[in-house]
Chains A and B, each alone.
Chain A
């Protein structure tokens, strides 16, 4: 043990404390950086040569301190949970938005909703008396309004479907770009790790991208070799090491095509490969909206349109015109299709003479008993009640979705707070660390001064006893 060795120890200590101060500075600098994980220097004491040599048994004490490793402080399990919860949040947000939009399309309860319009239409039949053409025209105008209201709601749903499909395609494009970035970051991290360099900042950036992928397509990650991660979507691999697979959307381009029998091929597939991928997150939500939510309500609306058409056509066919000849259908499909749906329902003729208000066959009369009977069809055919049920069901589904979203938002918020509490930078803590390392540095520097004095005494004072 020499005085020079103590000087070396003090020098190492000063370097180590300085490195620790550097890391503290980095932490403070990234106090507000999104996705930054705080870093710590692993200070380790350097042991002396403990294994005795043949001729020399060392009595040396330790060889100072080393500050080689800087680690990221983060909880891998919590990060993995965050991926899942973020994916759920994104999925529920998309679904809830879709419900809100569908509710807006139905415009209930209110004066402009289908219910108010159909009620007016059914009741206006009671205004038909005698040979009054004005009242008949009003009825036909009201029927036409009901038809256009159904058309409008149907069109709104069509547009929502198309918009959602475009959104989904855009999300997948973005996810593909993100996956590519993760791949190239993986490669850089691998190179840095193999060269023994710190890749903490790169890893933070990559983990942020993985979280973005969890949001957009419900990705999960697993640890790979050399600091890399593998990204999985619905069980199939998206990023493996430095290579990323692409995703694409295949299937129908419009709700009309999608609803056609036997053509439900809308899916997310790997590209190339064509393997179906069960995506989650926002994309999973959009896929549910496209394949289930919107088609369900479109089909129910079609059912209502058919019921109204059947009731009106049946009522008018069983009645007689003012000249005593039998009435004909009032509503038909504007696109020439055999089935009447909300999309194509339309009034066939707006001439007041087509309304079969009489129930007296073969006699020219001003009888209006069939009109009075038709006024009751809304209630007796059950279409009013069915429509109410449809709106109530929509309300329940939307309310449940909003509630699930609210709960999930709280859960995701809690997880984010928990992650932040592990990885976030605390100013108080960094300041304390700063003081600690500052004092450490000062102490080491004081050590050098002390050694200096000792050596000074040794070098300059030796042999000068009595001088």
Chain B
């Protein structure tokens, strides 16, 4: 093949240009920190990257759901504990009322008054609202502001349970309705306390009715305990899910980084190697393009 100066110049230029293009590639990778900036960089990795990004977005939402679920369940747990305390006090008062030998009409009235006050406190606890949304904690899906109105009538709506997704497919119920926690109307906890107070006010006191009231309180306490353990079990599941979410988040973040981010060591080495190549191309070009026969003609 016949070689001319122009052909050599053009070849050298092509070589230097391709070296420079490779240098630019490494420079871009190292300055942006990314090896994957557009789908054509690697269609397979793009697909993986998009899936991983979707997964991460889902996990972020899951973490928010878990925060909401934890808040609701914690609130329910503390409300139920408070209710337990109030209920125990009501049981104590009722037992005192049954102690007929030590009681007279005045002390019975005092007991009745305290029980009525307890009932008001209980209704107050039952009307606790969710901190984040203001909807009643024990009202189900009611559109009202409270679960029980001032007369103690349940105005909650036991419709679909309120759920939160805490896993890819796992959703957990995060609410407890008034019916579940305090019994179905009209024979619920509040009615029982009200009835006991009314019995104590009456003279003479109907001991049989008081004893029946105490049994109802016992049943209400059993129900509350059951609900508390249900809430505890749900909280435990949410805690598990929270730990899983954190783990999964770490895994996916690492995966995304391995797909999209530049391997600094590799890119730096590549850059160094390419730099050597570029310098060699320049040096060869400067040596080869220099001499012609003109240098030797006098």
Contacts and interface: CB of A to CB of B under 8 A. Distances in A.
Interface of A: 31-32, 99-100, 103-104, 106, 108-109, 113, 115-116, 119-120, 123-124, 126-127, 129-132, 322, 358-360, 363-369, 372, 375, 384, 388, 391-396, 398-399, 402, 413, 416-418, 420-422, 424-429, 431-432, 435
B61 interface: yes
B57 A126 contact: no
Contacts of B43: 392-393, 395-396, 399
A176 B4 CA distance: 34
Nearest to B135: A130
B58 to A, nearest CB: 7
A109 B4 contact: no
Contacts of A422: 2
Interface residues of B, number: 53
A428 B293 contact: yes
Given A99-B40, A366-B143, A129 B294 contact: no
Nearest to A28: B294
B153 interface: no
A322 B143 contact: yes
Contact of B14 (A322, A358, A413): A413
Interface stretch (B84-92, B100-108, B161-169): B161-169
B7 A417 contact: yes
Closest 7 CB pairs of A and B: A395-B39, A395-B43, A130-B133, A398-B40, A424-B4, A123-B61, A130-B135
B82 interface: no
Contacts of B157: 363, 365
Contacts of A360: 141, 159-160
18 contacts: A108-B50, A116-B53, A130-B134, A131-B133, A359-B160, A369-B160, A372-B171, A388-B51, A391-B39, A392-B44, A398-B40, A399-B40, A417-B10, A420-B10, A424-B2, A424-B6, A426-B2, A427-B294
B36 interface: yes
B22 to A, nearest CB: 12
Contacts of B58: 119, 123
B274 interface: no
B130 interface: yes
A291 B257 CA distance: 38
A392 B44 CA distance: 7
Given A126-B164, A366-B135, 4 more contacts: A109-B50, A363-B157, A367-B162, A426-B2
A360 B135 CA distance: 17
A124 B135 CA distance: 19
Contact of B2 (A31, A108, A109, A421): A421
A103 B40 contact: yes
Given A115-B54, A365-B157, A428 B141 contact: no
B39 A420 contact: no
Given A391-B46, A425-B6, A126 B165 contact: yes
A365 B143 contact: yes
Given A417-B7, A420-B7, A130 B163 contact: no
A395 B143 CA distance: 50
Given A132-B133, A360-B141, A424 B7 contact: yes
A398 B39 contact: yes
Given A120-B57, A123-B61, A365-B157, A372 B163 contact: yes
A164 to B, nearest CB: 19
Given A103-B38, A108-B46, A426 B159 contact: no
A426 B4 contact: yes
Contacts of A398: 38-40
Nearest to A106: B39
Contacts of A392: 39, 43-44, 46-47
Contacts of B7: 417, 420-421, 424
Contacts of A399: 39-43
B228 interface: no
A394 B39 CA distance: 7
A426 B160 contact: no
A135 to B, nearest CB: 8
Given A123-B58, A391-B46, A425 B64 contact: no
A109 B54 contact: no
B121 interface: no
B119 to A, nearest CB: 27
| Among B10, B64, B293, B297: residue with most chain A CB under 10 A | B293
A119 B4 contact: no
A31 B135 contact: no
B49 interface: yes
Contacts of B14: 413
B233 to A, nearest CB: 21
A103 B39 contact: yes
B64 A127 contact: yes
Contact of B57 (A104, A123, A130, A359): A123
Nearest to B165: A126
Contacts of B47: 388, 391-392
Contact of A129 (B39, B50, B133): B133
Given A366-B141, A375-B165, A108 B61 contact: no
Given A392-B47, A395-B40, A131 B135 contact: yes
B207 interface: no
B141 A126 contact: no
A115 B159 contact: no
B179 to A, nearest CB: 15
Interface string B151-185: 00000010110111100000100000000000000
Nearest to A399: B40
Nearest to A131: B135
Contact of A388 (B1, B50, B163): B50
| Among B40, B65, B68, B132: residue with most chain A CB under 10 A | B40
Contacts of B6: 31-32, 420, 424-425
Nearest to A431: B293
Nearest to B292: A427
A427 B57 contact: no
B163 A131 contact: no
B149 to A, nearest CB: 16
A427 B2 CA distance: 12
Contacts of A120: 57
B226 interface: no
Contacts of B143: 131, 322, 364-366
